[in-house]
Structure 1
Amino acid sequence: MSTPNESIQLTLNGESHTLAAGLSAADLIEQLGLAGRRIAVEINEQIVPKSQLAQTHLANGDQIEVVHAIGGG
């Protein structure tokens, strides 16, 4: 397990970010203020189902894309 002062580097929507180690994808969504919104999360080119965000832990070097779902017709 990570110590409290560890951090990881990842790319979020094309921009480099430093985050605390041990965060889940759900934690990241919460920090971004996107909890409860219609979004899609892709980590390392794999879509992560909403039901799996809390169990999906972020790792150093992850490439993350968060896309807002827009309704229309």
Structure 2
Amino acid sequence: MNVMINGAAREVAEGMTVAQAVRSLTESATGVAVAVNDEVVTRSAWETTALRDSDRVEVLTAVQGG
């Protein structure tokens, strides 16, 4: 199935969860936020929220700096 992750088209396995998508992009366990189709997905729902064909996923990570 095809999804857009951070603006890039990706072929992913059927039933991939938000948590799996996040792990494919970052090893960070904190400072990460996710939206699917412009709706924020709470961290507690990542493991149970399955992606569907044509979903738009945005994974944002906090960055320190000055």
Give the TM-score, by structure 2 length.
0.86
Q: 2:34: which partner in 1?
A: 41
Deviation at 1:33, TM superposition (A): 3.1
Between the aligned partners of 2:25 and 2:19, the Cα distance in structure 1 is 10
2:27 is the counterpart of 1:25:
no
How many matched pairs?
66
The DSSP-based 3-state class of the residue aligned with 2:12 is strand
Deviation at 1:22, TM superposition (A): 1.1
Deviation at 1:30, TM superposition (A): 1.6
Q: Which runs of 5+ in 2 are unaligned?
A: none
Deviation at 1:28, TM superposition (A): 1.2
Q: After TM superposition, where is structure 1 displaced by more than 6 Å over at least 4 residues in a row?
A: none
2:16 is the counterpart of 1:16:
no
Q: For residues 11-54 of structure 1, what are the alpha-carbon distances to aligned partners after superposition, in whole Å with 9 as ceiling and x for unaligned?
A: 11111110111111011112223351311100000000011100
Aligned letter for 1:51? S
Deviation at 1:70, TM superposition (A): 3.3
